Chains A and B, each alone.
Chain A
Amino acid sequence: MSDYPYITTDNRENRQFYMYSKYSGINFLEHYNRIRSGAQERLTHKLREADADATAYEEVLKAFEDLANESEQLIVKELFEMIQLKDFGKLDKLVHSFEIRKRVYATYDQFCKPATKDYRNTQPYIALAFALSINNISETEHLRYLNALLKLNDTILSFEDELSHVEALLFKYTLQEEQQAIRNIMLQKGLIS
């Protein structure tokens, strides 16, 4: 059994429901950090090879715009629009759908129920993770977003090799935001100094 057993060969098929998860003390958080930092190193290397790295929010947002423009996945376009208009009203419904199904679909109906059976495409996962990551996830009133982001990032890590360069760039940003949010909460709780 892995020290961090929530990333399988493909979480889209081996969905993780996280119920009654085992408590393993502070070591578990160290394992989590190692997993996330290792992923960031791999993504940095992949992006450097393609000369495609970016760190500033504006640059990453531009990359998301390019992805949305080219994407055939309706949800990617909708999520970009959401970010542009700063109108996140639909985000809670998408989080609800993801939390129930542990999958992100290409298109949703007006009630945010999947309107297609396609949950294999990588872009909707990346787009939802990015939209969550920019929503003040360190603040306790947005714990539900951070909670969903942790699960989404586990899922994306399970198919990390399938990511394009632009997806890798966006994912690296969401991982950084997630890790920073966790660090902030641990700091608030006096678990690190």
Chain B
Amino acid sequence: MNVLNHFILLGANSVRTKAYLQYMVKSGNVPSQVFLMSTSPQDLLTEVQQCRTAPPPIEQSQIFNINEPILYTLTSNKIPYQFISTDNVNSVETISAIRSVAGKYVIYSGFGGQILKPEVLSLGKKFLHVHPGVVPKYRGSTTVYYSLLKEGTIGASAIFLDEKIDCGAVLKAKTFDISNDLLDFDYIVDPHIRASLLVEVLEEYKVKGYFEIEIQNEQAGETFYIIHPVLKHIALLSLGEL
């Protein structure tokens, strides 16, 4: 296992964090340290105690194990971790934890809807975020569905976060094939495409030793808001066989 010394991961207890860690383990590149933000770390500990020997089996139609506890992935692959007792990425506790480590890059998998405040962005780290849409065309929320409706495609962009939503420098953006086997866009497809792109850019970094970035045109594209269920249904039904 290759430890990426310049990278830490800051995550919430979410499906996305699970996908990130499992894909990183599978790719052989893992962060040097993981910070888990949770107001109830005991729940995470209890969860992992229940599957000491093996994680619950992967369910059919899943491409990563949504049932595998984050702590199981971390402990079984000897990835150091710490809890941050918070549900807010901008909290004093989070800032203090990030400040305490040397890594230059923070792989960010935080809470939905929270925007990093200037106090966090000015800690001297680069926050690597994977957005589920090709920017600048698809900024904002639930863009997977909008791109399905508009172009019949889905995509993701690895970006460095800055003060403006989804406007940061782009490391890589790409579209993905859609598999009719994958039914759950919110909990499977979205984390899958993000995690897939994440491991791609980390592999590229490992090979080159740096990230190639492209600055976005802030004026281009548009920002989307949480999709209405009617449009979401049309987007999903347009894939057929659901």
Contact = CB atoms under 8 A, between A and B. Distances in A.
Interface stretch (B32-40, B63-71, B220-228): B220-228
A18 B186 contact: no
A150 B112 contact: no
Main SS class of interface, A: helix
B189 to A, nearest CB: 12
B232 interface: yes
Interface stretch (A66-74, A112-120, A184-192): A184-192
B238 A21 contact: no
B42 to A, nearest CB: 25
B225 A148 contact: yes
A99 B113 CA distance: 13
B97 interface: no
A173 B1 CA distance: 62
B111 to A, nearest CB: 12
Contacts, number: 72
Interface string A1-44: 00000100000000001111111111011001000000000000
Contacts of B242: 23, 25
Contacts of B230: 28-29, 32, 150, 182
A189 B227 contact: no
A29 B228 CA distance: 12
Given A18-B229, A32-B230, A140 B150 contact: yes
Interface string A95-113: 1100100000000000000
Contacts of A172: none
A186 B229 CA distance: 14
Interface in B203-235: 222-234
Interface in A100-156: 140, 143-144, 146-148, 150-151
A5 to B, nearest CB: 9
A147 B186 contact: no
B231 A23 contact: no
A147 B229 CA distance: 9
Contacts of A191: 234, 237-238
Contact of A25 (B222, B226, B237): B237
A66 B226 CA distance: 34
B236 interface: yes
Given A23-B236, A28-B233, A140-B149, A151 B112 contact: no
Contact of A23 (B113, B149, B222, B233): B233
Nearest to A150: B228
B146 interface: yes
Interface centre among A23, A32, A99 (most CB of B within 10 A): A23
Interface centre among B226, B230, B242 (most CB of A within 10 A): B230
Contacts of B226: 17-19, 99
A26 B234 CA distance: 8
A21 B232 contact: yes
A18 B228 contact: yes
A29 B238 contact: no
Contacts of B236: 23
A144 B221 CA distance: 12
Contacts of A146: 231
A119 B187 CA distance: 35
25 contacts: A17-B226, A18-B229, A19-B113, A21-B229, A23-B236, A23-B242, A25-B233, A25-B242, A28-B229, A28-B233, A29-B230, A29-B233, A29-B237, A143-B224, A144-B222, A144-B224, A147-B224, A151-B228, A185-B231, A185-B234, A186-B234, A189-B149, A190-B238, A191-B234, A191-B238
Interface of A: 6, 17-26, 28-29, 32, 95-96, 99, 140, 143-144, 146-148, 150-151, 182, 185-186, 189-191
Interface of B: 112-113, 146, 149-150, 186, 222-234, 236-238, 242
Given A20-B186, A25-B237, 17 more contacts: A6-B229, A18-B226, A19-B112, A19-B226, A21-B227, A22-B229, A23-B233, A25-B233, A28-B230, A28-B233, A99-B225, A140-B150, A182-B234, A189-B149, A189-B234, A189-B238, A191-B238
